[in-house]
Amino acid sequence: MEKQNKEKIQKDKDLKALKQEKDKYLAGWQRCQADFLNYKKAEAERLNALVDYEIEDWAHELLIVIDQLDRARQEVKEKTSVIQGFLQIEEYFINFLKSKDIKEIKTEVGKLFNPEIEEAVETEEKKGAKDGEILAIVQKGYKHKNKIVRPTRVKVAKN
């Protein structure tokens, strides 16, 4: 009888040790699982950041073309079929940028200069204008998602 009790006690100890070992390995596996999920999430974020960087990089080049088309549109007096074709190309580029979440920064003449989204490229003393008031938009600005790709370049009043 005593031998059976000793065997039972030994079996209970062995069972308890096995449960502790199982819990240890389970906890380690769960940590590895969580680490792997965190790694996958971080890699996805890095990949998205790289894609955004590339989009912003080629957007700079495309914005130069859009600026040239915009200047040409402003200079043209009559709208021939050739000019209409160029205007359609400009519209296509603008829509393409919008599809990639690149949008024009809305800036208005008469509003106060905002250094977070605008760059003052020229100042002018003008009577009747408030200090820091935008007098003219020199070049349109654009943003990708919430990041400034190119600030709006403006002429600002200085008193």
User: What are the structural domains, with CATH classification, of the chain?
Assistant: 103-159 (2.30.22.10)
Q: Give all strands (DSSP E) within the chain, no chain letters.
A: 102-104, 118-124, 134-139, 142-144, 147-150, 152-157
Beta bridge partners of 139: 153
Average of per-residue pLDDT across 132-138: 94
> What's the rounded Cα separation, in Å, for the pair 58 and 157?
33
Instruction: Characterize the bridge pairing of strands 147-150 and 134-139.
Output: unpaired
Report pLDDT for 6: 86
The model's confidence at residue 153, banded by pLDDT at 50, 70 and 90, is: very high
> Over 80: is that where the pLDDT of 1 sits?
no
Read off the pLDDT of residues 88-129 as tens digits, 9 standing for 90 and up.
999 999 999 999 999 999 999 999 999 999 999 999 998 888
Q: Average pLDDT for residues 10-22, to the nearest whole number? A: 93
User: What pTM, to 2 d.p., does this model score?
Assistant: 0.73
**54 has pLDDT over 80:** yes
Distance (Å, rounded) from C-alpha 152 to C-alpha 119? 6
Residue 143 has pLDDT above 90, yes or no: yes
CA distances from 17 to 5, 29, 72, 86 (A): 18, 18, 82, 80
pLDDT, the chain, mean = 92
pLDDT at 81: 85
Q: In this predicted structure, what is the pLDDT of residue 62? A: 93
pLDDT at 24: 96
Phi, psi of 150, rounded to the nearest 5 degrees: -150, 125
Q: How sure is the predictor about 159, in pLDDT bands with cuts at 50, 70 and 90?
A: confident
Query: Is the pLDDT at 27 greater than 80, yes or no?
Result: yes
